[in-house]
Structure formats: structure tokens, C-alpha cells
Amino acid sequence: MGGESRSKKVIRVLFIASEAAPLVKAGGLGDVAGALPAALNRLGAVVGGASAEVRLVIPFYNSIKTSNISATFIRKFKVSTLNGAVEAGLFETSLSGVVTYLVSGAPVSESASIYGKDFKEDAEKFVFFSLACLKIPSLIGWKCDILHANDWHTAVAIHHLATAKKKNASLQTTRSVLTIHNLPFMGSGVDEALVKYKISPSNDDNLPNWGKTQPLPMGLAAADRIVAVSPTYAKEILTPEYGCDLQDFLRKRSGHLTGILNGIDVESWDPATDPALKFNFAVSNFTTRSQNKRALLAEFGFPVESDVPLLALVSRFDWQKGIDIIIAGLRAMKNFAWRVILLGTGERNLEQACRDLEDEMPGKVRAAILFDVQLSRRIYAGADLLLMPSRYEPCGLSQMYAMRYGCLPIARATGGLADTVSDPLSSTAPTGFLFPNADASSFITALKRALRLYKKRAFWQAMQFNAMSRDFSWSVSARNYLDLYTQLSENSSIMSEP
């Protein structure tokens, strides 16, 4: 009887984020928020024990308003400030079958884009949004068991939850989870907005003083559970190299910290059905993949020679991503046989450095300075090696996309890259190449290894099959999140009858 009762339990989760694909996306967080809630809701139908009912909340950006989505107005409400109340609006739509709420209001609509040029420009928008999210359960008559926030944009909601519980019966037993997607982005410069919206600093003595008025540290101090987006990143942020001066604080909270690897949408990212590809393929009809390589070479004006390794970069051009390491490494290996396509946008100096490399080696290098998702899919399907020498990488998705398409990563062994890529030197089922240090020398050593193994066609193809067979689906990550929700629920007896 106890098992039957348990199987009927539903954990109600309010999942709040600054973006969610396909409604709005600027980075990997959008992919996560667009996929994880749906995966959690699907999971409840196929596993025993508790299930999750996840509802998503994002800001009602102008770009969403001008799209063709259908959103139902629910009601207006107010968010209090020192200068009087700010009016907000609550709308409802559906995203991949997930009940999705959109929060409108002047702080959101006055913003020209999802993210501004700095934290201060975004401060009021996300403080307003975080506080508005805390009002939603009572507005819709829905008891919230878990408040799940993401990054600094929504961390104020976690910090302010204890205060909100005093006035909101729907939050009385709510527990909280905060996922760190990128620790260095903490929300500095929001002090004026915190004062305006009557948000007190954190009183956690374990936080450094500077962190008591920055949203992400404030949320980390208050959260019942902290999640980093890969197991290795969860360990790395406890060290001075990656901890952003919060490592001592995080070590004290390490009993409440876990690492859960992000997933990918394996239905969208499927080389067997991807409409962006000229030639679809799978492990069972793998010979077709080589046609994608030939088509990609022709598209970029290279000689159509499939025996020369084709390298690729698909990335935001940022110091974090090690673009300078790639450029230095390729210069040093200019006499080796390879070609490379560099796709991305970002810092102007790195964009120019890629153009300069093409000018220096026009027979080997193509710099595509643009953001093009369809082209990235064709590159994953046609290139032999993906270059990812990241200085740090909390999770990373590009390496998972690449492996699913038979493109082997050369990646620095950090964060999610270390958790997802298996090297021939340490694995019996290798899927790519790892190197230890964020410098050109270490990258060059790994690239030389890869170019040598590329000539061993049977071994190389076996690596491709290993890579394509890895399960990076969201169902794996969703199971881990549901286990975490269940632990929190059982600790506080908060699970609700559906």
C-alpha cells in the first residue's frame, strides 16, 4: 500500500530562467530551459515513485511579443518598490507541452534585448522578474514544492524566498534549487536595483562581503541545493582556479552541491533525420557521411579531397573558449596536412585574428564570421575534428552535438568536456581527444595524436561509432534532477497529491 501511495505523488516545480528555446535563446541556458522541463514531465509517465509537474517562467520579451506565439492573458499584479508598485502582467502559453508563463512589465519591455552590454543594464529587469516569479504560485492557485532558478538572473528569487514565504501560503514548504551554468557571471552592479526593490543583502557570514549584494552568491547562500552543470565543474569550482573567489564559501556548502550534466535534444540533433543536412546518415548507413564532407568542402571552396582531415571550430569567439590557442596551434602546424573552418562571432580581436589566419593560409583556412545554426549542423556532419580548447567549460554542448554527428572533439580536459569526451589513452571506447593544459603546446600535442590516428581508418571509424552511440539525451539528466527533487521533498514532506 505504501508503494501505491508513493507512486501517486507529484512534485510541483516552478522552473525560472532568463531564456528558453525556441521562444528566446542567446546561449546554452536557453537550450536547457527549453528542454529540461519537458524531459522531466515526460519522465513522470515512465518511472515509478514520484513524478514531476514542471512549469516554466521566462520574461515576456519584446521579441516574443512580436513573434507568432499564442499567449493567454491571466492577470495583472504588482511588484513592490521603494518608489511605489511596478505593474506586471502574467500570460500563459505552452512550450513543448510544458505550461509556460510569461512575465511582462516596464523593466522587461524597456529592454532592447535579452541581455544588455553589462549587468547593471540588466539589473532591474531581472530583479523585477525574480520577485514577480515568487508571486505566481498564489496568483494561479498552485502550490509550489520546488523553486528551481538558473544563474544570476533568477538567483534573487532564491534569496528572497524566505521573506516571500511569510506572505505567500503557496510557498510555505517550498524548497529551492539553483543551477550554476557559468559561475563568473554573478550579477555585479545591481546594488541600486536591490535597494529599489527592497532586497536585503545576504546575511550569510560565510560569503565574502562583496558577494552579499551580488545575485548569484546571494542565491547560492540561500539555496537548499546547488547544481553545477557537470560533475567535474562541481569539483572545479571548489578550487582557486575556477572558484571566482567563492571557493572557500562553496567548500563549506559542498554537502549541498552536486554536478548534473546537461543533455541535448536528440530528436532535433539527429543526423538520420536532420533537414539541414544534404545527406542523412546513421551508424547503420555511415558511408553516406563522407558525402557531407565533400559537400562542405565544396561549399567553402576547398578541393574535394576526403583524405585530408577537416578541422572545425563552432563557437562564440571569447577568451574562455581558447580561440587564441587554436590560432597559435594551427600556425605552428601549418606544414601538416589539414584544413579548417572557423565558424562564430564574438570579440572583435578574435574575429580579426581568424580572418588574418585565413589571409595567411588561404589554402587551409576559412573564417566564417557569422552565427548560423544550419551551417553548424552541416559542419558537425562533415568535419572530422571539432576544436574545443576551452580554458573552462561548465558543461558544453558543442562536443555532444559533434559526437552525435560523428565529428570527434579535441578538447581540454575541463568541466563537461572531461565528463563527455573519452580519450584513446584512457578509454577502451574512445570518442575524441583530451589534453590537460590551456595552452598551444598541449593543444598541438593532442592534434598531432589525432592526425596520426586519422590515418588508421578502421580505428577512426570505430571512434566515430562510439561517439555517435553515446546517450546524451535529456532523459538521463532529467532522472538525476528528479532524484534531487525527490530527496528534497522527502526531507520536508512537501510532495502534493495531483
Domain CATH for 71 = 3.40.50.2000
**Predicted confidence band at 489 (pLDDT cuts at 50, 70, 90)?**
confident
- Report yes or no on 108 lying in a domain: yes
- Report yes or no on 276 lying in a domain: no
Q: Is the pLDDT of residue 497 over 80?
A: no
Number of domains in the chain: 2
Residues 60, 198 share a domain: yes
Percent of the chain with pLDDT over 90: 88
Summary mean pLDDT of the chain: 94
Which has more confidence, 207 or 2? Answer: 207
pLDDT, position 121? 86
Residues 482, 456 share a domain: no
Least confidently predicted of 253-257, 470-474, 488-492: 488-492
Q: Is the pLDDT of residue 45 over 60?
A: no
Q: Is the pLDDT of residue 498 over 60?
A: no
The range of the structural domain enclosing residue 356 comes to 283-470
**Predicted confidence band at 5 (pLDDT cuts at 50, 70, 90)?**
very low
pTM: 0.93
Residue 414's φ and ψ, nearest 5 degrees, are: -140, 150
pLDDT, position 312? 98
pLDDT, position 8? 60
Residues 453, 320 share a domain: yes
Q: Is the pLDDT of residue 493 over 60?
A: no
- Report yes or no on 340 lying in a domain: yes
Is residue 382 within 8 A of residue 295, CB to CB? The reply is yes
- Report yes or no on 109 lying in a domain: yes
Q: Is the pLDDT of residue 496 over 80?
A: no
Residues 225, 150 share a domain: yes
3-state helix, strand, coil in the chain (%, to 5): 45, 20, 40
Cross-strand bridge partners of residue 53: 12
Residues 480, 457 share a domain: no
- Report yes or no on 121 lying in a domain: yes
Residues 324, 247 share a domain: no
Residues 375, 460 share a domain: yes
Which has more confidence, 194 or 497? Answer: 194
- Report yes or no on 321 lying in a domain: yes
Distance CA 274, CA 270 (A): 6
pLDDT, position 300? 98
- Report yes or no on 336 lying in a domain: yes
Tell me the pLDDT tens digit for each residue of 196-212: 999 999 999 999 999 99
Which has more confidence, 324 or 497? Answer: 324
pLDDT, position 257? 98
Residues 305, 361 share a domain: yes
Residues 46, 92 share a domain: yes
Residues 438, 317 share a domain: yes
Single-letter code of the amino acid located at 41:
N
What is the mean predicted confidence (pLDDT) over 389-398?
Answer: 96
Least confidently predicted of 98-107, 161-170, 385-394, 445-454: 161-170
What is the mean predicted confidence (pLDDT) over 466-488?
Answer: 95
Residues 244, 320 share a domain: no
Q: Is the pLDDT of residue 4 over 50?
A: no
What is the mean predicted confidence (pLDDT) over 454-459?
Answer: 97
Percent of the chain with pLDDT over 70: 96
Helical segments of 300-411, H only:
323-332, 348-360, 373-382, 398-404
Residues 159, 144 share a domain: yes
- Report yes or no on 275 lying in a domain: no
Q: Is the pLDDT of residue 2 over 80?
A: no
Edge to edge, the sheet with strand 408-412 lists 365-368, 339-343, 310-314, 385-388, 408-412, 433-435
Distance CA 124, CA 132 (A): 12
